[in-house]
Amino acid sequence: MAGVSTGEWQRRHDLLIGWGNGLRQDDGVGLLIAERVEGWSRPGLEVLAIPQLTPELAPRLAEAARVLFVDAALAAACPDPGWTLAQLPRWSPGPQPLSHHASPGALLQLACSLYGRTPPAWQLLVRAHSFELGTELTAATAALLPEALAAVGRWCGDA
Amino acid sequence: MTRTILIDPVTRIEGHAKISIHLDASGAVISAHFHVGEFRGFEAFCVGRPFSEMASITARICGICPVSHLLAAAKTGDQLLVVTIPPAAERLRRLMNLAQIIQSHALSFFHLSSPDFLLGWDSDPAQRNVFGLIAADPELARGGIRLRQFGQAVIERLGGRKIHPAWAVPGGVRSPLQPADRDWIRSRLSEAVATTRGALDLFKRLLDGPLVTEAAVFGDFPSLFMGLVGPDGRWEHYGGRLRLIDSTGALVTAELPTDGLSAVQLGGLLAEAVDPSTYLKFPYYKPLGPEAGSYRVGPLARLNVCERIGHEQADRELLELRQRGGRVVTSSFLYHLARLIEILAALEAIEALLDDPALCDTHVRAHAGVNAREAVGVSEAPRGTLFHHYRVDSDGLIEAVNLIIATGQNNRAMNRTITQIARQYIQAGPAVAGVPEIAEGLLNRVEAGIRCFDPCLSCSTHAAGQMPLHVQLIGPEGELLRERWRE
């Protein structure tokens, strides 16, 4: 991946990955945000709505200009106002757990180890209030959606 | 007094589980058990839904093998409609299932299990993972990723980009295969075959050398084996007949056709035992009872029950497997080799399907209303035979669901495997205060016994009603020292 020309770099796209389980109430908030953002049809932004982060995403990460992971989180990881968008370290210390699914840190490590490139990456976490069986978000998590989507818009470059 | 050693969590498997190893007063292993503490309860969630939604709902049960549930649900729906699906639809479903087998087996072998084989059982656990593998053999690691990418890409081209494609539906599939996608799949086959052949050659060399002991003591015991077979007993993954054999290769019962398999037939064949220490049920062959009727499913079982695979390269590998392990291979460690052979078989089967002019036909769905109130759908998931059983009302709303999952069917075999490994390695260790000192590498071997079966707990943990987790500590005289229930 080293030695990429400026033109080639500019052709790289941003990648948004929302993941979770749509049958577990607020665990599906990452999927929902991804589906909403996909509806924006923004040029240069590829959107994935998937149940788990899987190792074969690593080459797609390595090819992306920037990556935004979107997931649900417990309150401890998501203080007020109930969502957080932060840049991830390019290299997490120590090997990250990886099986049929992976964490953002493990995928970034995998992209770097196998393909020699880690894109700058961010993570948007939205507070989940219930992981019980159900296809609808709780009202409390649903109320966080407008702000979370606005944060994604700013990440994408909206004023 | 008895002692219990816990390995918690078991690493490099799907889901959270623990293993308990029970020792007697002398430190000898009495038994080992695999416990699953996750409760999913998806079957109750499905009640009241239209049966036509079951494919998309059950595909979301598991992010690991959604295609397997998708196909089993669609096949159950076919039976409720009482339709014969168009020939192209069956071919396309087969194509998707083959791609699923490839991507799932690739990850199990290349990234979850090969760190043990290539880096060593006793190597630094901080390095004994895919990142250590990348450092030791980056080409193998990249090849595994590419192979998995290929399988996922075939699934995406058939069903759309998302991992949970609601593409297979009762009566067929939603959309045909485009010739451009067929040609793309064909263009990637030779690389995938080369990667698989390289892994096969590597693993067979290891089996003849540093892994010879593991092949002998990682769950080598007689049991029943169950899987699907096609015409003339050929390897099968989608339809055909259900075959159950014993370790001599003899049929245990008459084969059952999967098309039209009735709930009564399934109920006569299988029963499910429960144990309060785990959410994972114990299906067994009903006429022989829970112990003698326990059986194994999955890649090794499929290769054991078939007469031949029906594809040239894979058949040569099957012959070698049988030269190595006998007509019916009983070593659970050889599940890994079976996985690689099945990847090769799947790639050859895909090549044959691509040559079939009917593959791109545009008539891919039959339409009908509800014509039956109860049905069973069967297909082979990467980990083994998968059963969906639905009962619906006259409007097609689900009244009852039961899913019999591969990991559950291998439950007793997993316990026997880790007991055998624990007895071999833990007794051999030095003792401190009458209890064997347990080196990390020994515990890793016990965990690896579970990984032979590549268990996936996402969909396999369910129970009839509420089943709390019950943990007991039993003293040498059988007295209850401590117990704890988790709701």
ipTM for this prediction: 0.72
CB contact under 8 A, A56 and B149: yes
Helix (H) or strand (E) holding B168: strand B168-169
For residue B39, what are its two tokens?
């409760």
Q: What pLDDT sits at residue B41? A: 63
pLDDT at A10: 53
Amino acid B63: pLDDT: 65
Helix (H, G, I), strand (E, B) or coil at B337: helix
Q: What distance in Å separates the CA atoms of residue B238 and residue B259, rounded to the nearest whole number?
A: 10
Q: Which of A37, A33, A35 is nearest to A145 (CA)?
A: A33
Contacts of A52 in chain B (CB under 8 A): 63-64, 163
Cβ–Cβ below 8 Å for B162 and A50: yes
Q: Find the closest chain B residue to A132 by CA distance.
A: B40
Residue B476 CA: distances (Å) to CA of B25, B93, B312:
7, 54, 56
B22 and B60 share one domain = no
Together in a domain, B381 and B470: no
- How many CB pairs below 8 Å do chains A and B form together? 85
B149 in reach of chain A (CB within 8 A): yes
Residue A34 near chain B (CB below 8 Å): no
B46 near B57, Cβ under 8 Å? yes
**What is the residue-averaged pLDDT of chain A?**
85
In Å, what is the CA distance from A138 to each residue of A85, A125, A145, B378, B410? Answer: 21, 16, 11, 36, 37
pLDDT tens sequence across B388-407 = 999 999 999 999 999 898 98
Note whether B134 contacts A: Cβ–Cβ < 8 A.
yes
Asked whether residue B417 falls in the same domain as residue B353, the answer is no
DSSP B360: G
B265 is in which domain, residue-wise?
42-408
Report the residue from B44, B132, B145 with minimal CB separation from A55.
B145
Query: Which of A55, A58, A99 shows the shortest C-beta gap to B12?
Result: A99
Q: Which residue out of B60, B108, B113, B459 would a mutagenesis test of the A interface target, given it has the greatest number of A Cβ atoms within 10 Å?
A: B60
Please give the pLDDT value at position A101: 62
Predicted pLDDT at B446 = 79
Contact B258, B240 (CB under 8 A): yes
Return d(Cα B401, Cα B389) in angstroms, integer. Answer: 6
Report the residue of A38, A100, A107, A132 to disrupt the B interface, i.e. the one with the largest count of B CBs within 10 Å.
A100
Q: How many CB atoms lie within 10 A of CB B355?
A: 10
Q: Taking CB atoms and an 8 Å limit, are B126 and A94 in contact across chains?
A: yes
B145 and chain A: CB distance < 8 Å anywhere? yes
pLDDT in the model for residue B450: 86
Mean pLDDT along residues A55-73: 92
Domains within chain A, CATH numbers bracketed: 6-156 (3.40.50.1450)
Flag residues of chain B having pLDDT under 50: 1, 12-14, 163, 460-487
**Nearest residue on chain B to A28, judged by CA atoms?**
B60
Can you tell me the distance from the alpha carbon of A55 to that of A108, in angstroms, rounded to the nearest whole number? 10
The DSSP symbol for B442 reads H
Indicate if B274 and B353 belong to the same structural domain: yes
> Judging by DSSP bridges, how do beta strands B224-229 and B241-245 pair with one another?
antiparallel
B60 and B187 in one domain?
yes
User: What's the pLDDT tens digit per position in A12-23?
Assistant: 799 999 998 888
Give the Cα separation of B196 and B186 in Å (integer). 16
pLDDT tops 90 at residue A52:
no
Name B240's Cβ contacts closer than 8 Å, sequence gap at least 6.
Answer: B228, B229, B230, B231, B257, B258
Q: Has residue A129 got a pLDDT over 60?
A: yes
pLDDT for B44: 75
Q: How many CB atoms lie within 10 A of CB B107?
A: 27
The CATH number covering residue B386 comes to 1.10.645.10
Does residue B173 contact residue B97 with C-beta atoms inside 8 Å? no
Q: Report the C-alpha gap between B180 and B158 in whole angstroms.
A: 12
Q: Measure in Å the smallest separation between the Cα of B42 and chain A Cα atoms.
A: 8
A159 CA to chain B: closest CA distance, Å?
Answer: 30
Name every chain A residue with its beta carbon within 8 A of the beta carbon of B450: none
The verdict on a CB contact (< 8 Å) between B145 and A59 is yes
Q: Is B437 found in the same domain as B315?
A: no
- Examine the domain organization and report whether B336 and B459 are in the same domain: no
Q: Are residues B26 and B163 in the same domain?
A: no
pTM of this prediction?
0.85
Instruction: Point out the domain boundary residue: B391, B408, B425.
Output: B408
Judged by CB atoms closer than 8 Å, whether chains meet at A100 and B64 is answered as yes
Question: CA-based angle A96:A57:B336, to the nearest 5?
Answer: 70
Q: Hey, is the C-beta of B381 within 8 angstroms of any chain A C-beta?
A: no
Q: Is B94 on the interface with A (CB under 8 A)?
A: no
Regarding whether B391 and B377 lie in a shared domain, the answer is yes
Distance to chain A for B104, nearest Cα, Å: 8
Report the alpha-carbon distance of residue A68 to residue A26 in Å, rounded.
Answer: 19
Q: What pLDDT score does B15 carry?
A: 52
3-state class (DSSP) for residue B49: coil
Q: Are residues B187 and B210 in the same domain?
A: yes
Over chain A, what HEC string results? CCCCCHHHHHHCCEEEEEECCCCEHHHHHHHHHHHHHHCCCCCCEEEEEECCCCHHHHHHHHHCCCEEEEEEECHHHCCCCCEEEEECCCCCCCCCCECCCECHHHHHHHHHHHHCCCCCEEEEEEECCCCCCECCCCHHHHCCHHHHHHHHHHHHCCC
pLDDT at B306: 98
Are B130 and A49 within 8 A, CB to CB?
no
The count of domains in chain B is 2
Question: What's the CA gap between A12 and B167, in Å, rounded?
Answer: 30
Contact state of A100 with B164 under an 8 Å Cβ cutoff: no
B304 and B439 in one domain?
A: no
Percent of chain A with pLDDT over 70: 85
pLDDT above 80 (res A96): no
Mark which of B386, B408, B430 sits at the end of a domain.
B408
Nearest to B437 by CA among B449, B428, B447: B428
Q: Which amino acid is at B442?
A: L
- Domain co-membership, B449 together with B419: yes
Check CB contact of A30 with chain B, cutoff 8 Å.
no
Under the banding of pLDDT at 50, 70 and 90, the label for residue A159 is low
* Minimal CA separation from A48 to chain B, in Å: 7
pLDDT of residue B463: 32
* Domain final position from B408, B436, B468: B408
Per the listing, tokens 């959604």 go with B66
Report phi then psi at B225, rounded to 5: -130, 140
- Which of the residue ranges A61-70, A87-96, B106-115, B121-130 would you say has the lowest mean pLDDT? A87-96
3-state secondary structure (DSSP) of residue B218? coil
Asked if A113 reaches chain B (Cβ–Cβ under 8 Å), the answer is yes
Q: Is the pLDDT of residue A131 over 80?
A: yes
pLDDT at B396: 96
* Residue from the list B14, B60, B127 with its beta carbon closest to the beta carbon of A100: B14
- A22 at interface of B, judged by CB pairs closer than 8 A: yes
